[in-house]
Amino acid sequence: MTTQTDTAGSVTAVYKVSGMSCGHCEGAVSGEISEIDGVSSVKAVASSGEVTVVSAAPLDEEAVRAAVDEAGFELVGRA
């Protein structure tokens, strides 16, 4: 589990997502997660299956799971 609190009062978490294979996949996952309240930045990388999320406070993992599911992928867990 990787979670760090940044100096600007934000939290960075890295999640593993299975099924992403291209830029379109990255965009779909990023778009859904970015709609979660408090999220300020999302970077999905298909080649590693990792999604880095910066938010104002720690996110509920079930909210992230629901967003990833809505995009058509599966949240494996925290990286």
pLDDT at 43 exceeding the cut of 80: yes
Q: What is the DSSP string of 25-53?
A: HHHHHHHHHTTSTTEEEEEEETTTTEEEE
* Tens digits of residue pLDDT in 47-62: 999 999 999 999 999 9
Structural domains in the chain, CATH included, are 3-78 (3.30.70.100)
Count CB atoms within 10 A of the CB of residue 75.
21
pLDDT of residue 9: 80
* Tens digits of residue pLDDT in 7-38: 468 999 999 999 999 999 999 999 999 999 99
pLDDT of residue 69: 98
